[in-house]
Structure 1
């Protein structure tokens, strides 16, 4: 199968984040075995989602990981010009949910697999495909924890998130939490007898937003845009009807941190502001939704040098979006981002990838094999 045929098969699986992914994991596993790879599939704690790990080349020795995620964001937007789960070709573009983020990279790795398996590799190449990356990288920590049982310590990991095939050495870290305020319900004509959770949350959000503004004062890392850490309140929900005092309100807050700053540490002032509401008679809740560390690979690292050779481009210093790369680095594995597509096309209607981008990515992966093959 060529890369376009493989991509069409992958897009046809509606592997939306937070839903069972056994069908796509099974198909990829069968394909990898047929291509000559050794495959292990790991069930996550959710009971219906799987990580997949496949190896070509020698079973021992330090090699490289090609990392990607099998899940995609939902595709419910009305603006889609065609079925988002049916690959549509138009000129040099291939449309469908996940073409850029990031089934295009998966397709390239799978298309290259038969050629890699036929090479006399001195070191292994591993495919590490995770689930629920779009929900805060929930699947890959379980896969990373299993790596000592699956392979020798890798030399590095290439995370194939869309970067227009220019390697990226750094990204911000992220943490997200759900705040909950519980008051006391009642008839809206007697606000004195209730505790309005929405009013309390509104005051809290105002204070949190002001704190967020303070992050613009630094510390700075000028490789990023913006060059400082940031905070956003992204979701708020509460209340039943306008004539009922709302007894519950929730809001979701995220922070994105520049390197050397712990994302979770940026949320501690938010936790303190939430706790103050207890003194006003409210109950409060704090639920961690997701967290991953930033990525910071030195410019002169062996992995950055390798990607410069494989792509013919100087690695980009940093991007502001996040990936699983920081988690691999946290586990002691040098990591870098490099994949086909443009992040600007992701998470939107009529997502697409260009045929030439797929070809460039497959060539890069096959060149990695040549680099590791015996002469």
Structure 2
């Protein structure tokens, strides 16, 4: 039975990988495929599009129409895959030495494949507790889909009790992680000939000063290690610049520069301090210097996403349940972000636990092992006992 179910998961995963759901592209074909499978299993479905109509969330339910359900959640988008860096087609599942290769296999379509396979099993049970499947869009670029989904759940009045976020953790039980705050700061100056730099406002130069201020704040955060952060790696709030774009030529003053940056706060007070410090520096130092030469100069920061971390809670039904299902004796925390904090904001008990290693996520030749998928199936098998028990 186990090998048969694993073969079913492999077939589903092959289909999921064939959909190139890079965040900049649509996920509608994948959502349609998942919706069809879930509907045939008897699930009640809600599909919600993003404002553009090119992406969607899927929320599906089996079992009684009541509160206290268990959510199995995964994001459908993947990061880009440069084909020249891969030994195989990143959107074609390849099996080799017990591993399954393809973009998204571990982050996190492997978990989704296991869930879709198991929902067929759950549909044949006398469920006393609802089980929900949440598939979201654009996790990789700010958890945009999950923010929409959580808002819709709050409005609907539905109150699931537990959420299991299937990000790759090697099937370890993760009960806490840092937040993930992402921004793009744009500097608008004025151009001119490079031989007379004082007559222009070089946006790249002011962006560099802004980044230098970020580095000062990052160094300050390293002094904030405490009991609430000691388990993280690194054990402090981090800042980093991921991408910078600006200018047109070596001998032209750059009129525009965009800095894409993020911070991973251990605590919300760190995030508030960093944001205030950068706003003060922009308003009181950089902008006055820019406007002295060019009154229309400006600096604008766009919030891409501010996703709260997953707080470690003294009482956590999800933690106790998943530890019992996996046989884990310990839990852990991680530095990477997930959608877990958004579900926790609804008052749900939440953990992160899924097949695959985060070390493989976002890498060329990404893979998940069949052993990890088997362990995930074992966890979902064990969940049957909870779903058929009367509350």
> When the two structures are superposed, what TM-score results if normalisation uses the length of structure 2?
0.92
Query: Structure 1 residues 262 and 146, CA, compared in 2 at 3 Å: closer, same or farther?
Result: farther
1:10 Cα shift?
A: 0.3
Q: What is the 5 A alignment of 1:1-375?
A: 2-148=8-154, 152-220=158-226, 221-261=229-269, 263-275=271-283, 276-280=285-289, 281=291, 282-374=297-389
| SS of match in other structure, 2:84 | coil
Long gaps (5+) in structure 2 = 1-6, 292-296
Q: Distance in 2 between matches of 1:57 and 1:271?
A: 49
Aligned 8 A contact 2:100 2:370 in 1: yes
SS in 1 for 2:299: strand
Superposed CA RMSD in Å reads: 1.7
Taking the aligned partners of 2:272 and 2:29, their CA distance within structure 1 comes to 35
1:312-352, Cα deviation, whole Å (9 max, x unpaired) = 01342310000000111112212110100000000001100
CA contact (8 A) 1:264 1:291 kept: no
Deviation at 1:268, TM superposition (A): 2.1
Segments of 4+ moved more than 6 angstroms = none
Deviates more, 1:76-85 or 1:10-19: 76-85
Q: CA deviation at 1:271?
A: 2.0
**Deviating more after overlay: 321-330 vs 203-212:** 203-212
SS of equivalent residue, structure 2 residue 328: coil
Whether the aligned pair in 1 keeps the contact of 2:67 and 2:161 (CA below 8 Å) is no
Q: Distance in 2 between matches of 1:308 and 1:125?
A: 18
Task: Choose 185-194 or 17-26, whichever is displaced more.
Answer: 185-194
Q: Is the contact between residue 129 and residue 389 of structure 2 (CA under 8 Å) also seen in structure 1? A: no
* CA distance in 2: counterparts of 1:147 and 1:183, whole angstroms: 43
- Residue 321 of structure 1 aligns to a residue whose secondary structure is coil
- Range with greater deviation from structure 2 (298-307 or 314-323): 298-307
- Deviation per CA, 1:168-202, whole angstroms, max 9, x where unpaired? 00000121211122212111122232122212222
**SS, match of residue 217 in structure 1:** coil
Q: Deviations over 1:252-292 (max 9, x none)?
A: 22111114546354322122222222211132111111110
On the 8 A contact 1:99/1:352 being kept in 2, the answer is yes
Helix, strand or coil at the partner of 1:245: coil
Partners of 1:213 and 1:297 lie apart in 2 by 25
Q: What is the DSSP-based 3-state SS (H/G/I as helix, E as strand, rest coil) of the residue aligned with 2:53?
A: coil
**CA distance in 2: counterparts of 1:373 and 1:66, whole angstroms:** 16
1:94-144 CA distances to partner (integer Å, 9 max, x unpaired)?
000000000000000001011111111110100001000000101111111
Answer yes or no: is the 8 Å Cα contact 1:170–1:296 preserved in 2. yes
